[in-house]
Amino acid sequence: MSEAEPNRFRSGLVFGKFLPPHEGHRLLIETARARVEHLTAAVCSLRREPIPGRLRCDWLRQMCPGVEVVHVEDENPQYPGEHPEFWPIWSRTLRRACRVAPQVLFTSEAYGDEMARHLGILHQAVDPGRHTVPISAGRIRERPAACWDYVPAPVRPYLVKRVVVTGPESTGKTTLAARLARHYRTCWVPEFARGYLDAQYPRRGSDEVCRAEDMEPIARGQVGAEDALARQASRVLFSDTDLIVTKVYSEHYFGGCSGWIREAARARRYDLHLLLDVDVPWVPDRQRDQGHAREELHARFRRELRVHGCRVVEVSGDWDERFAAAVAAVDAVLREPMRPLS
């Protein structure tokens, strides 16, 4: 460090919950990093919090490469009034977390001066009035969709609202998913099975359209496509089908389903399923052969969604009525708080 750089230090510290990380945190960390040679960012988590600390660490590492991100899991008191030794407890925790002893603490919080005093280092405040980036983690948890511009790209797949358009064959799932995506200016996930089966079966003969061994690759492809598009979605991601559909069709056509599909269908959670009724005309094609079983399959989907504990809105009527009902249901979801990891 040269004398020409009086505001630059060898080492610094930022710490917090980052629950979740947001653009205000990025400003804090980037400001600190410009003033120190080595910066430690301590992510402090409790077991009871809605987002695991390891995820928050991963997000910060993606957001701020070159910063040493450490995970602090001490179950410390959260407010000075909770424990008479609050400040010494936290100063010991933070010293232990830092591989390189910090010379300066950077915060945007009122407690920064006192924490720095107990650590025996300097404090530099960064945008304490939240004028540059007017956001807080609490506001994001309460209304993530309304705060989307302040959510960094690595965090968006976790906070994006996920809506599945589901139902039997030829009920307008693809049409509705695409129209909803246009309306909300976001992405939608096509049915992976269509492209997969079109590519597979011309090579095997025209009489075959699917085999039992195709079901797991289809399921994995659907999951992969959804997870990839979640990083590009804005506020909400629409999926034309999910693994519950794959499970139902595997059992319907082949009398069983792989254990991986069953477990993955149970584990993946969505904010809403739009279950489409069969009150629209049947349109056959090479991959649709269950026009006679649409009502039976519709009832089966309804049961499966209930068994999986899904939130379901049933959609019927003509195309415009379906769209209006879907928009009302999605708007309600977008007003809701963050759904904790289950």
Which CATH architecture describes the domain 160-334? 3-Layer(aba) Sandwich (3.40)
Tokens 């410009």 correspond to: 34
Q: Is 249 helix (H, G, I), strand (E, B) or coil?
A: helix
Amino acid residing at 257: C
**pLDDT, tens digit (0-9, with 9 covering 90-100), for 90-101:** 999 999 999 999
pLDDT at 1: 39
- Helix, strand, coil percentages (3-state) for the chain, rounded to 5, are 45, 15, 35
The Cα–Cα gap between 153 and 144 comes to 13
| pTM (two decimals) | 0.88
The Cα–Cα gap between 321 and 112 comes to 55
> Hey, what CATH class is 9-141 in?
alpha beta
Mean pLDDT per 10-residue segment, the chain (342 residues): 60 98 98 97 96 97 97 97 97 97 97 97 96 96 96 96 94 95 97 87 65 94 96 96 94 93 95 95 61 84 96 96 98 92 56
Cβ partners under 8 Å of residue 153, min gap 6:
62, 231
Percent share of the chain, pLDDT over 70: 92
DSSP bridge pairs for 14: 41
The Cα–Cα gap between 29 and 149 comes to 18
The Cα–Cα gap between 336 and 342 comes to 16
The Cα–Cα gap between 340 and 319 comes to 34
DSSP bridge pairs for 272: 163
The Cα–Cα gap between 334 and 313 comes to 15
The Cα–Cα gap between 230 and 264 comes to 17
**Which residues of the chain are in CATH 3.40.50.620 domains?**
9-141
Cβ partners under 8 Å of residue 182, min gap 6:
none
Query: Which of these, 173, 144, 169, lies nearest to 157 by C-alpha position?
Result: 144
Amino acid residing at 328: A
